[in-house]
Amino acid sequence: MFIQKLQSCPEFIAGDNTLLRELLHPDKQPLALRYSLAHAIVLVGETSTLHSLDTSEVYYILTGNGEMFINDESQAVEPGDAIYIPPNAKQSIRNAGREPLSFICIVDPAWRKENETVY
């Protein structure tokens, strides 16, 4: 059995300028995973930096309200929303609320720096 506590994961500023904690990653734990799982936060008034991944990604909104931008589309997002981001899509998310916007990120195959382009 493997259980990862969010608070035991170091928080860092990701390439897209979100506050990130990596929960599960096949390169960092001895787990048979294809994907990586992270917890992200965008602070009030902030927007993640426009970026794209060579891989698909899913965001699951936990707290706060935001606006998701994927290529030329945008849409309001709130807790309980699952957002599919296709490979190579230009994406960012804006905190449009009055509390931190927090969400889970699932990247499949697992996130790797060489697969990300930050604009």
| Cα dist from 72 to 50, 56, 75, 96, whole Å | 12, 17, 11, 18
What does the alpha-carbon distance between residue 32 and residue 42 come to, in Å, rounded to a whole number? Answer: 30
pLDDT of the residue at 84: 98
Nearest CA to 110 out of 56, 42, 59 is that of 56
Q: Which two tokens stand for residue 35?
A: 């994907």
pLDDT of the residue at 111: 95
Per-residue pLDDT band for 118 (boundaries 50, 70, 90) equals very high
> pTM to 2 decimals?
0.95
CA atoms within 13 A on the CB side of 118: 10
